[in-house]
Every structure is written in structure tokens, then in C-alpha cells.
Amino acid sequence: MSTTFLPCGDYHQTYAEDHAWFQTKFIKGKMIALFLVLFVFIPMFAGDYWISVFNMVGYTILGALGVQLLIGYCGQLTLGHGAFIAVGAYTSTLLILEFPWPEFMINLGLAYPVSIFIAGIMAGLFSVLFGLPSARVKGFYLILTTMAAQFILVDFVITQYVSQIGGRGQAFSLPPGTMKIGPWVIDNNYKVYFFMLILVILSCIIIANLVRTRVGRAWVAIRDNDISAEVMGINVIKYKLLAFFVAGFIGGITGSFWISNLAAISPEHFPWFLSLWLVGVILIGGVGSIHGAIFGSLFMVVIMEVLQLAIIPMADTYPKLLMDFLFIKEATFGLAICGFIIFEPNGMAYRWWQIKNYFNLWPFSY
């Protein structure tokens, strides 16, 4: 029975078995149940409001995955990831609205998918550019150099120049029907939700497999001790810049996805607080774990929505609460980080790992 349902009695004889995605029938059943929940039950029973909340969760997961790769797996501190998300969003937007695509690509709905890939490349290259100082500095100094990406790319280049293209002022309008993938037009929250699920699943699969390769092991070695990694023959600069590129690529895809959820895009969608928010998400969810990005995103987004729902009924009596919700949100974010650092420093992913181990080792969980 244990070999059928619980991994504790399943003895692996090959590397492939040890690293298989679904090691028992029970785990396969859980994945099928999760698939049904995500693709069937949530779209069926969740209203438009909660679908939009799940879309925000997916957006946060995609953004946090890039930060998790840099901080959690490679040990490169960053506070400028929001800038690369902005680069991806604006690259995709400009390619869709301004680039003279051949008529057949527009008719086949290929403009948006191609723009997503190009946006990822552009964001990755900019990420490498601002990651170059990691070859010489680390820690606090690297944080400052990555922060420069926000002030240079978003506050200066995008706000003062890119957003002025076409005489639009500050915002690019994204008319309904602009986002097409083949014949599939992404024009409502439910379609954005399915698009988000596909991107999140693909991104998680890619990162999960990547960190188990030679590249992933090099990143972990650099994170643990970059001097020892260099002594072992690892090209530290090369792998650091590769981590910045992959993280930036994911950030670019995140920005390209998010424009499908917006009627118009402006620099105000990508404040510096977004970068800080994503770092806080992985601190709460758990550093060095894909689960950490997912749990942290779920926790923070849902908590903020519940907080807003709790404040709205009190708006008539205390109207200032609604006016000051942004400050309440930021204060709650800070309190959440402090609380997790004090009481659960390893994050939600670590607690989830303990729960799974308790179940997997039952009845010998002690």
C-alpha cells in the first residue's frame, strides 16, 4: 500500500525515478485533481471579480519566479525586476501597435505570440546589462545597481521617451481584440485566466527542469559560496549573467502577459514598489523554491483583496480608510514580512514541505 500511495515505501533504483515528476499513483491523482480545479471548477464557479484576482495572482507568480531564480537559486540580490517587466510590456505593446507586420501574420494571429518572445529577449538583454556589476560587486552594492534599472528604464527612458511614441502622451491604448493567439482572441478575464495558467505552468516546468541541470547546479554553487564555485572550475561571471538573462526573460514574458489584462498601459503600472513587492513575496513564500513563489503570491494577493473587502463596508462610516487603502496595503505588506521573518523565516514552502513529509512518512512521522 505504501508503494502505491506514499513515497516513503517507494525505493528508486535510477536517477530518472528519483527525479520523476509524478512518483506514485497518489501524486498523479493529486495532479489530476489540481488540473480539474484550475481548468474546470474555478472558471465554472468563480465570478468575474475572483477570476480577476486569480489573474493578479498569476501575474505575481510569473514576476516572482524571475526574482526567485536570481535570489533563491543564484544568490544575486535584486530590487529592479519591475523594470524588466515594464520593458517586456512596452516592447510587446509597441510591436503590436506600431510595428508594420505582414498582413498574413496579423490574419493568422501571430503578432502577439512573436511579440511575447521578442519582449522576453529584450528584457533579458537589459537584465544582463544591469547585471554586469555582479561581476565585481555583490550584496548591498548589487541591490543599488539593480535599483538603478527602475530609475533609468522606467522613470526616465519609458516615461520620457518610449511612452511619447505616436504622440500618445503617457498611455498606450490597447483596444479589445488587439491580443490574438492564432484565432483565439483574448478579450475577457476568463480568457486571460486560461492564458495565465498556461504561462505559469510552462514557466514552472522550465525553471524546475533548468535548476536540475548543470546550469542550475552551478547557480546553487554560486549562491552557497561563489569563491568555492570558482575554485571548482565554474565560470562565475558567465553563470551570473545567464541567471540575469533568464530572470529578465521571464520578466519580459510577465509584462507581455499583463498587457492582455489592461485596457491601456502607462509607466504607473510599474512602480519601484513592484520590485520590492516581488522580493517580499518570495520572502514570505520561501526563498529557493518554486513553491515559495506560488504560495507567497497567493498569500499576499488574497490577503490584500480580503483586506479591501473588509474595509469597503466601513467606507460609509470611515471614508478615510478607503482613501488611505494604499498606505494600509503597504503597512500590511511590511507587517507580513516582519511576521514571517520572526515566526516562519523559511517561508510557507518550508511549512508545506513539513506537512508533506508528515503525510508521506505516516504512520512513522515522528
The answer to the question of residue 18 being in a domain is no
Domain that holds residue 68: 23-360
pLDDT for the residue 154 = 92
The answer to the question of residue 366 being in a domain is no
What is the SS3 string spanning the chain?
A: CHHHHCHHHCCCCCHHHHCCCCCCHHHHHHHHHHHHHHHHHHHHHCCHHHHHHHHHHHHHHHHHHHHHHHHHHCCCCCCCHHHHHHHHHHHHHHHHHCCCCCHHHHHCCCHHHHHHHHHHHHHHHHHHHHHHHHHCCCCHHHHHHHHHHHHHHHHHHHHHCHHHHHHCCCCEECCCCCCEECCEECCCHHHHHHHHHHHHHHHHHHHHHHCCCHHHHHHHHHHHCHHHHHHCCCCHHHHHHHHHHHHHHHHHHHHHHHHHHCCEECHHHCCHHHHHHHHHHHHHHCCCCHHHHHHHHHHHHHHHHHHHHHHHHHCCCCHHHHHCHHHHHHHHHHHHHHHHHHHCCCHHHHHHHHHHHHHHCCCCCC
The answer to the question of residue 80 being in a domain is yes
d(CA 103, CA 46): 38
CB atoms within 10 A of CB 176: 10
CA torsion sign for 354, 358, 361, 366 is positive
d(CA 35, CA 203): 16
Peptide bond into 271 cis (omega under 30): no
Low-confidence ranges of the chain (pLDDT < 50): 1-2
pLDDT for the residue 103 = 86
The answer to the question of residue 86 being in a domain is yes
d(CA 116, CA 90): 11
Contact of 123 with 257, CB cutoff 8 Å: no
Our count of domains for the chain comes to 1
Q: Give tens-digit pLDDT for 183-233.
A: 888 988 999 999 999 999 999 999 999 998 999 999 999 999 989 999 999
CB atoms within 10 A of CB 206: 14
The answer to the question of residue 243 being in a domain is yes
The answer to the question of residue 114 being in a domain is yes
pLDDT for the residue 2 = 46
pLDDT for the residue 230 = 92
**pTM, to two decimals:** 0.91
pLDDT for the residue 1 = 44
Write the CATH number for 229: 1.10.3470
The answer to the question of residue 332 being in a domain is yes
The answer to the question of residue 14 being in a domain is no
